[in-house]
Amino acid sequence: MFENYRTFETEFAGRPLVVETGKITQLANGACLVRYGETVVHVAVTASAKPREGVDFFPLSVDYEEKQYALGKIPGAFGKREGRPSEKAILVSRVIDRPIRPLFPKDMRNDVSIVCTVMAYDPDCLPEIAAMVGTSIALSISDIPWNGPISAVSVGLIDDEFVINPNKEQREVSRMAVTVASTDSRIAMIEAGADIVPDDVMYNGIMAGHEANQSIIEFIKGIQSEIGKEKFEYPSNEPDHEMFEAIKEFSIDDIRVALDTDDKKVRDERLKPIYDAVHEKFDEIYPDQAEKIDECLYKTQKFIVRRWLLDEQKRVDGRKMDEMRPLASEVGILPRVHGSGLFTRGQTQVLTITTLGSVSDQQTMDGIDDKTSKRYIHHYNFPSYSVGETKPSRGPGRREIGHGALAERALVPVIPSVEEFPYTIRLVSEILSSNGSTSQGSICGSTLSLMDAGVPIKAPVAGISCGLITEGDRWMTMVDIQGLEDFFGDMDFKVAGTHEGITAIQMDLKISGLTPEMVKEALYKTHKARDYILDEVMLKAIPEPRKELSKYAPKMLSTTIPVDKIREVIGSGGKVIQKICAECDVKIDIEEDGHVFISGLDTENCKRALTIVDTIVSDPEPGAIYKGRVTRIMDFGAFVEIAPGKEGLCHISQLDVKRTEKVTDVVSVDDVIIVKVLDIDDKGRLNLSRREALIEVEGLKPENELPPRRPSGPRSNFHRNDRRSNNN
């Protein structure tokens, strides 16, 4: 029945990699089932028979789908089925897209769809790596034109040794998580997060990944040679050469003048009449080819910019190849928010706002991996006005999610631990204007905002991008690329880090890959640039995190209690913890390991709640001072609750530093007073003194030394009398 069924097997980083083809998904252009360890990913690729009318770009879509059944879970949504893709799935889709897109023919416009479905999940074998390898295999054996194959690996750093495709336990202790995709000769994609890893170590890790990819590329080539289909023919979208040369000759001088400015708005205004003049002349010569005419104008601009860079080392805004645009930093831009930072680089401008919340405000994750929450959240917004366009906001797209995740990854290594800083931290980067490298601008703005908020980050982080122009064996890099250099160049190599090392990398290419020399130069130039940004711009705006939080930020205290005492603090049905929160006007979060986090706008209220929690989990000791609430008043004194379930008597003689005639002259029910524990009798009953607490805490002195009035009856009957009155 399955006469074309084939299996191929190899070893991948010490684990079996098995590829099955020909049994399932037989109507797709190419498909395979990849088994890596016990992770199973199905990949299917399809292409339309012909391009859609009017499409002037290559319509490639990549979808990485996580199924909850892959780890034996039923989705928690009301419909009990998977909803929209998780942020992790969107980010993996982007990682798969980036190395394969440049390998498709530049002039093809047929729709191509790639769907990677995670069907079984083994935490020791990353499904995203299996999906990238599976995508390469499915495209290679399909009839879709594609100049692959590629391979991808994950590289970890443990005890100064590189580990290829680290397992779950190794990933938890690794100092970096780097995904490297390669062709048989070049590095096609880098996606990295790192704990301030030196540049040379990062470079060596990238090269280790590139080397590890080569055996899998040979494995894929073997599969392709056995079962690969012949690639189909497609209608080229390349403009006629004669048409392009005519339009270029007509417009090139005017376009040179238009492009020669550092102002994006001026450039766009200068280009409008040129476009009008070209269409007026050539629309009649080439009827029904308006899109091809625009393509010729785009190619002419690209030709000019690339010739300037390669032949004259000239940039459109007049900068040198290693020169950055004008930079500016400000903090404290917005009142009442917990922190804000404005970072400007040329015509790119980002405002980042920091909000601090309680630990329970952390984001809940619902992916297939073991990450269930995160307390540092970064959101990135890219409104249409930032590029001078008019269109409604439709929520974050893949680009916004990807750039927010990159900024988040860059700052995670410097965020203090929850023990050091028990807050959930949310950053929002608002892109106010965009002319290239907004993601790196948001990293700089976020560092400023965190420091303005008083978050004790371990070190400031800056981000910068490096561009590339290639022609045959010639190549040239430039630092801090603006929009035009990104559009017409070959690379956007984004690197974020501190003075000491790298925290994040994201590399986008329009060519098949980079040589090791290109990678090394990009790392060198970006390190030099981020040092300049930190020292000359950011740290001059705010040299260190503020010592105090904003008065509008919640105040946070934390402690650790024995796990077996958690039930006592929470109480039956949550009554105890709810009572503490209501009385102290605070919010209390208790984690399974016994960590307790108390937040509120008033520090004294937080301290009181913390004292109550400590009192519940540990018996009061003579000499300790507490704040307590008066629960009942008797002729002979007042009963004070210092913690839920822990109440004592403050005798009338101990209510004040002066003689007290009536208990109600000093306290009323529900008053909060300070008391000192005098002693604890053999039945665990507390004898309290407000008088001694006032003397010790507030330094008050007794007005006289006369013995205060004692009510009739022996003292030993106080508790007995109280019980008798309760019974009545």
For residues 360 and 222, membership in a common domain is answered with no
- Residue at 1 is within a domain: no
Average pLDDT over every residue of 540-562: 93
Instruction: Please tell me the predicted confidence (pLDDT) of residue 704.
Output: 58
CA 595, 598, 599: angle at the middle one, nearest 5?
Answer: 140
Bigger pLDDT: 56 vs 226: 226
pLDDT at 694 over 60: yes
Instruction: Please tell me the predicted confidence (pLDDT) of residue 202.
Output: 98
Block residue for tokens 């990353």: 126
Average pLDDT over every residue of 705-711: 49
Is 372:365 a contact under the CB 8 Å cutoff?
yes
Q: How far apart are CA 570 and CA 563, in angstroms?
A: 12
For residues 431 and 532, membership in a common domain is answered with yes
Following DSSP, what letter does each residue of 166-206 receive, concatenated?
A: --HHHHHH-SEEEEEEE-SSSEEEEEEEEEEE-HHHHHHHH
Query: In Å, how far are 82, 271, 441, 484, 544 from 328, measured between CA atoms?
Result: 45, 29, 11, 21, 17
Contacts of 82 (CB under 8 A, 6+ apart): 65, 66, 67, 68, 75
Which pair of structure tokens corresponds to residue 176?
């970096």
Residue 657: count of CB within 10 angstroms of its CB: 16
For residues 338 and 485, membership in a common domain is answered with yes
CA 362, 364, 368: angle at the middle one, nearest 5?
Answer: 145
Residue 96: count of CB within 10 angstroms of its CB: 26
Following DSSP, what letter does each residue of 280-304 receive, concatenated?
A: HHHTTTSTT-HHHHHHHHHHHHHHH
For residues 708 and 578, membership in a common domain is answered with no
Query: What is residue 27's DSSP assignment?
Result: T
Cβ-based burial of 499 (10 A; exposed 0-12, middle 13-18, buried ≥19)? middle
Nearest to 88 by CA among 429, 363, 281: 363
Q: Pinpoint the alpha helices (H) of 534-620.
A: 539-541, 566-570, 575-584, 603-617
Block residue for tokens 């003075």: 499
Helix H or strand E encompassing 428 = strand 424-433
Query: Of 515, 541, 567, which residue constitutes the final position of a domain?
Result: 541
For residues 513 and 649, membership in a common domain is answered with no
Residue 458: count of CB within 10 angstroms of its CB: 15
Cβ-based burial of 314 (10 A; exposed 0-12, middle 13-18, buried ≥19)? middle
The answer to which of 198-202, 631-635, 695-699, 723-727 has the lowest mean pLDDT is 723-727
CATH number of the domain that 596 lies in?
A: 3.30.1370.10
Residue 446: count of CB within 10 angstroms of its CB: 30
- For the chain, what percent of residues have pLDDT higher than 90? 75
- Residue at 133 is within a domain: yes
Helix axes 398-411, 438-453, angle to 10 degrees: 50
Which pair of structure tokens corresponds to residue 467?
């561009």
pLDDT at 719 over 60: no
Average pLDDT over every residue of 412-434: 95
pLDDT at 716 over 50: no
Query: Of 541, 571, 598, which residue constitutes the final position of a domain?
Result: 541
For residues 563 and 535, membership in a common domain is answered with no
CATH number of the domain that 652 lies in?
A: 2.40.50.140
Query: In Å, how far are 4, 486, 526, 625 from 465, measured between CA atoms?
Result: 47, 10, 7, 58
- Residue at 413 is within a domain: yes
Which long-range contacts link 296-300 to residues 24+ away (Cβ below 8 Å)? 296/239, 296/243, 296/244, 296/247, 296/248, 297/247, 297/251, 297/255, 299/239, 299/244, 299/248, 300/244, 300/247, 300/248, 300/251, 300/252, 300/255
Mean pLDDT, all residues of the chain: 91
Which pair of structure tokens corresponds to residue 468?
């590339």
- Residue at 317 is within a domain: no
- Residue at 396 is within a domain: yes
Per-residue pLDDT tens digits for 357-403: 998 888 887 777 777 789 999 999 999 999 888 888 888 889 999 99
For residues 187 and 302, membership in a common domain is answered with no
Residue 76: count of CB within 10 angstroms of its CB: 10
Q: How far apart are CA 250 and CA 273, in angstroms?
A: 13
DSSP-derived 3-state class of residue 112 = strand
- Residue at 56 is within a domain: yes
Write the single-letter amino acid at 615: T
- Residue at 521 is within a domain: yes
Q: How far apart are CA 599 and CA 581, in angstroms?
A: 10
Task: Say whether the peptide bond before residue 383 is cis (omega within 30 degrees of 0).
Answer: no
Instruction: Please tell me the predicted confidence (pLDDT) of residue 92.
Output: 96
Following DSSP, what letter does each residue of 686-722 receive, concatenated?
A: EEEEHHHHHHHHS----S--SPPP--SS-GGGHHHHH
For residues 629 and 484, membership in a common domain is answered with no
Q: Where does the pLDDT of residue 187 fall: very low under 50, low under 70, confident under 90, or very high at 90 and above? A: very high
For residues 494 and 574, membership in a common domain is answered with no
**How many domains does the chain divide into?**
5
Is 327:537 a contact under the CB 8 Å cutoff?
yes
Is 155:204 a contact under the CB 8 Å cutoff?
no
Average pLDDT over every residue of 627-646: 91
Residue 286 phi/psi, 5-degree rounding, is -125, 70
Q: What's the alpha-carbon Rg for the chain, to the nearest Å?
A: 34
Buried b (16+ CB within 10 A) or exposed e, 549-558: bbeebbbbbb
CATH number of the domain that 192 lies in?
A: 3.30.230.70
> Please, what's the largest Cα pairwise distance for the chain?
117
Per-residue pLDDT tens digits for 282-339: 998 998 888 889 999 999 999 999 999 999 999 988 899 999 999 999 999 999 999 9
Q: How far apart are CA 305 and CA 291, in angstroms?
A: 21
- Residue at 548 is within a domain: no
Average pLDDT over every residue of 147-174: 97
For residues 577 and 631, membership in a common domain is answered with no
For residues 305 and 428, membership in a common domain is answered with no
For residues 78 and 191, membership in a common domain is answered with yes
Structural domain containing residue 638: 621-728
Per-residue pLDDT tens digits for 42-89: 999 999 999 998 888 999 999 999 999 998 888 877 788 888 888 999
Query: Of 227, 251, 274, which residue constitutes the final position of a domain?
Result: 227
Instruction: Please tell me the predicted confidence (pLDDT) of residue 717.
Output: 41
Query: In Å, how far are 319, 474, 475, 512 from 470, measured between CA atoms?
Result: 19, 6, 4, 11
